[in-house]
A = this chain, B = another copy of it.
Amino acid sequence: MTQMIDKRPDPEALSRIKDILGPKGWVDDADDLAPWLVDSRGVYHGRCLGMARPGSVEEVSQVLAVAYDAGIEIVPQGGNTGRVGGATPDDTGHQLLINMGRMNKVRDIDAANYTMTVEAGCILQDIQRAAENADRLFPLSLGAEGSCQIGGNLASNAGGINVLRYGNARDLVLGLEVVLPDGRIWTGLRRLRKDNTGYDLKHLFLGSEGTLGIITAAVLKLFPLPKERAAALVALDSLDSAVTLLEKARTASADALMSFELMPGFSLDWAEKHVEGAKQPFETTYDWTVLMEIGGTKMDGSAGVALEGLLEEAFEAGQVVDAILPQSEEQRAQLWFLREAIVEAQNREGAQIKHDVAVPVSLVPDFIRQANAAAIALMPGIRPYPFGHVGDGNIHYNLSQPVDMPVETFFAEQEAIHRAVHDVALSMNGSISAEHGIGRTKRDELLRCKSDVELDTMRALKNLFDPKGLMNPGKTIPAPR
């Protein structure tokens, strides 16, 4: 059981925390705090005691030890780019924000071992570049990579566009350094690919959204850097061909298929309509398109040859009906710009109800058909806009409002639509949060998709690591039914 805590902060404890951090490590000016008190979707607004910006693992440890004794609640934060409100404090003003941005050193790159050791506050893009400078690839790649921090990526087990080939964030970690809720430091920064010496603690913290401790550093896996990339935007004869083509592409590319992203054909029209610089590249609006990319480790065009061979076969089989093959790096970048633009385009087209589901890859077409039917039955005229990482079975199943429907009328049905879409995913033993996590947004919905055994086990783990319930309270773990 979580103990009852007097949430008013002890002024003496707070002053000890400020002393530990020094002036560089403490922010309490309202203007400076403002951007960190609202989540990236603008849904949640919070208050806080102040924002700690620790400069070392020792400082994190000391701050947590004082906070633990004093019963001060903690909200860990990285780049504040999350989609589920996991890094926003509540509105009591009694929580302490701990922002990891100052711990942003790359501690080590070991190219021969294909690893690097980084601090939690490193920006994802900086890590990608540091790896590239050592002729290595760190494959985690997602929309927010210019501002998200690796600590947040790991705490939320981020996904993105290369999961198909390289796995989720958790699969890219060999070791962790974590400060536990009571301030103890677990130094698990091993650079080993094999280590069977007891329970695997790192996987408990990876994806726990800051509810079990604070990740302060990690040993990341690196890979050979692709020397060339071959991409194609293809139009399919049917949704089912997405699965067939994916299957073939994995085989034909020697499993070097890095991305396989589904986009409805009209989303390319919307991109052209709403986003500066985006253009529908086909002469007609196809039902379904896929942006796929293969990596090669030689600069001899062999990745392009493999891709073209694969597409020829798919043309002959009638599964692919049209294709754009970029002839330069610039054209390839343009296709990826289009892939990002369809997200922005939907925002401009009106209000949306969003989902981040996963089902087995083989069931993606069925999922989309059934979810479309369920949503349209609830709201005729609603415009399904499913896109995303079909290579991992992860569909961002978004819905745009019917044309001319008042926004309030649309959002009045949000819960019913969430439930209907999630029901389809759950009927396929799918996930209601493939890559965004639970945070505050999906906490209660979790009650519908986990067994009592799983919920009880999660609660017991939370209570074991954080018996006072101080770490990111109100996130991830649902209150009992």
Binding site for B on A (CB under 8 A): 110-115, 135, 156-157, 159, 163-164, 167-168, 170-171, 180, 184-201, 203-204, 206-208, 212, 223-225, 243-244, 246-247, 250-256, 295-298, 358-363, 389, 392-394, 429-438, 442, 446, 449-451, 453-454, 457-458, 460-461, 464, 476-477
Chain B residues with CB below 8 A from A188, complex form: 454
Task: Check B437 against A191 for contact (C-beta < 8 Å).
Answer: no
Give CA–CA (A171, B202) in the complex, Å: 13
Q: Which residues of B contact A360 (CB under 8 A)?
A: 110, 113, 115, 191-192
Residues of B within 8 A of A255 (CB): 223-224, 256, 297
Write out the residue numbers on chain B whose beta carbons fall within 8 Å of the beta carbon of A200: 157, 170, 203-204, 206-207
Interface contact B250-A192, CB-CB below 8 Å: no
Residues of B within 8 A of A191 (CB): 360, 429
Residues of B with C-beta under 8 A to A170: 200
- The answer to whether B194 and A438 touch across the interface, beta carbons within 8 angstroms, is no
Q: Given contacts A196-B436, A197-B431, A203-B204, is CB(A460)–CB(B454) below 8 Å?
A: no
> What separation, in Å, do the CA atoms of A212 and B198 have in the docked complex?
11
Q: Are A446 and B156 interface neighbours, CB within 8 A?
A: no
Contact B163 A194 (CB under 8 A): yes
Q: How far is the CA of A199 from the CA of B115 in the complex (A)?
A: 25
Alpha-carbon gap, A225 to B433, bound state (A): 30
Residue picked from A246, A298, A446, most chain B C-beta under 10 Å: A298
Residue of B nearest to A137 (CB): B255
Protomer copies: 2
8 contacts between A and B (CB under 8 A): A112-B247, A163-B193, A196-B433, A198-B454, A199-B458, A203-B204, A254-B254, A460-B464
Q: Are B392's CB and A193's CB within 8 A?
A: yes
Contact B186 A431 (CB under 8 A): no
A450: B residues at CB distance < 8 A: 197-198
For A194, the chain B residues whose CB sits under 8 A away are 159, 163, 168, 358, 389, 392-394, 431, 434-435
A362 nearest CB neighbor, chain B only: B112
The answer to whether residues A254 and B296 also contact, given A360-B110, A361-B112, A453-B180 and a CB cut-off of 8 A, is yes
Is A361 within 8 A of B204, CB to CB?
A: no
Q: In the bound complex, do residue A243 and residue B192 qualify as a contact, i.e. CB atoms below 8 Å apart? A: no
Q: Nearest CB to that of A295 among chain B residues?
A: B254
- B429 near A189 with CB under 8 A, answer yes
B224 touches A454 (CB 8 A): no
- Specify which chain B residues have a CB less than 8 angstroms from the CB of A253 in the assembled complex: 297
With the chains together, A178 CA to B139 CA distance in Å?
32
- Most B-side CB within 10 Å, residue of A111, A185, A190, A435: A190
Q: How far is the CA of A477 from the CA of B199 in the complex (A)?
A: 9
**What residues of B have a CB within 8 angstroms of the CB of A454 in the complex?**
186, 188, 198, 201
Contacts of A201 in B (CB 8 A): 454, 457-458
Q: Quick one: closest B residue to A178, CB to CB?
A: B453
Task: Give the complex CA separation of A35 and B183 in angstroms.
Answer: 49
Give 15 A-B pairs besides A112-B246, A114-B250 with Cβ atoms closer than 8 angstroms: A112-B247, A159-B194, A163-B194, A164-B193, A184-B453, A192-B430, A195-B434, A196-B431, A196-B433, A196-B434, A199-B207, A199-B212, A200-B203, A254-B254, A460-B464
Instruction: Indicate if the CB atoms of B251 and A297 lie closer than 8 Å.
Output: yes
Contacts of A361 in B (CB 8 A): 112-114, 193
